[in-house]
Structure 1
Amino acid sequence: MGIATRDSLRDWLRAPGSLSRRLARLGQRFEVQVLHQGVTPFRALERAALGLPPRGLTVVREVILRVDGEPLVWARSALHQRATTGPWRALKGLGTRPLAHLLYDDPHIHRSELQPRRLARQGHTRRHAERQWAEATGTAMSSQMLWSRHSVFSRGGAQLRVMELFAPELAGHRPGRLRR
């Protein structure tokens, strides 16, 4: 994937606010397909982004965001396990509702700057996403699906990292503006 693909996804990589709300405007039916939610060991990037110690457990939620049945985004959210009994306890009961329901309706939640990132083709995150994508959709993830963004949401002293990996099909759509 060259620079042209990053340029074609630039608006999505930088779009503020709720990705779910932007995606929902692209079609008739928006859905969140939960792939996994559970406790796992920390990953280095998540640990660094969340300012966590070298050891511990993370609660992870991995989903595919679909519009009219078409999978367009693979997303992973992670937070320290202790935060699910405190500021982020509502994450446990989220189910198939978008994470946006928790993040954008609470004035006490603050978001870091969006950080675009190209995933390594053979990196752990990419390989993990490929496996889940294939199992959930019955098709292989596009080799061009390498551009992601991440940010950290803070509430009550606890952080939640969200990473979103974009399908190249989004390049043909504009994210548009959201009303507050």
Structure 2
Amino acid sequence: MGIASRDSLRDWLRAPGSLSRRLARLGQRFTVQVLRQRVVPFRALERAALGLPPRGLTVVREVILRVDDAPMVWARSAVHQRATIGPWRAIKGLGSRPLAHLLYDDYRIHRSELKPRRLARHGHTRRHAARQWLAATGEAMPAQMLWSRNSVFDRCGAQLRVMELFAPGLRGQRPGRR
């Protein structure tokens, strides 16, 4: 996917506020399909983004965001395991509700700058997302699905990293208002 492909997703990569709320405006039905939520060892990028020590565990939640049953976004959130008994404890009971319910209704939560990133076609994150996408949808992840955005949310000194990987079906769609 070249510059033209990123440009067609540029508005989505930079849109502030709740991605879930923006997606919900594209159709009649918005759903969150939870792929997994569990405790895993830190990944280097997540550890660096969250300013965590070299060793430890993180609670990871991976989902597919769907509009009218069409998969639009694969997303991964990660938070230090200790934060789930403190500032981010509500993540444990989130279920299939969007993470936005926690992130945008609390004035104590602050978001970092959005950082667009092109994933390596054969990198670990892309391969992992592709396996989950296939299992959840029955279809291979589109080869053009390489652009993501990352941000970190801070609540009372505890950080949560969110990475969202956009399907090419969003090209040409306008993200609209929050």
TM-score range, shorter chain: over 0.9
Q: What's the counterpart of residue 2 of structure 1?
A: 2
Unaligned runs of 5+ in 1: none
Q: What's the counterpart of residue 11 of structure 2?
A: 11
**CA–CA separation in structure 1 for the residues paired with 2:93 and 2:27:** 26
Q: What's the counterpart of residue 23 of structure 1?
A: 23
SS at match of 1:172: coil
Q: Superposition pairs for residues 129-148 of structure 1, below 5 Å? A: 129-148=129-148
**CA–CA separation in structure 2 for the residues paired with 1:55 and 1:115:** 25
- Matched to 2:18, the amino acid is S
Cα RMSD (Å): 0.4
Q: Superposition pairs for residues 53-64 of structure 1, below 5 Å? A: 53-64=53-64
Q: Superposition pairs for residues 112-123 of structure 1, below 5 Å? A: 112-123=112-123
**CA–CA separation in structure 2 for the residues paired with 1:58 and 1:139:** 29
- Matched to 2:100, the amino acid is A
- Matched to 1:172, the amino acid is G
Q: What's the counterpart of residue 166 of structure 2?
A: 166
Structure 1 residue 6: Cα displacement: 0.2
**CA–CA separation in structure 2 for the residues paired with 1:172 and 1:24:** 16
**CA–CA separation in structure 1 for the residues paired with 2:133 and 2:69:** 13
- Matched to 2:29, the amino acid is R
TM-score (ref. length: structure 1): 0.98
Q: Superposition pairs for residues 56-135 of structure 1, below 5 Å? A: 56-135=56-135
Unaligned runs of 5+ in 2: none
Q: What's the counterpart of residue 157 of structure 1?
A: 157
Q: Residues 58-88 of structure 1: CA distance to partner in whole angstroms, max 9, x if unpaired?
A: 1000000000000000000001000000000
Q: What's the counterpart of residue 52 of structure 2?
A: 52
Percent identity, aligned pairs only, is 84
Q: What's the counterpart of residue 43 of structure 2?
A: 43
**CA–CA separation in structure 2 for the residues paired with 1:79 and 1:96:** 18
- Matched to 1:71, the amino acid is P
Structure 1 residue 172: Cα displacement: 1.7
**CA–CA separation in structure 1 for the residues paired with 2:6 and 2:147:** 7
Q: What's the counterpart of residue 34 of structure 1?
A: 34
- Matched to 1:147, the amino acid is W
- Matched to 2:5, the amino acid is T
**CA–CA separation in structure 2 for the residues paired with 1:172 and 1:135:** 27
SS at match of 2:163: strand
Q: Residues 78-130 of structure 1: CA distance to partner in whole angstroms, max 9, x if unpaired?
A: 01000000000000000000000000000000000000000001100000000
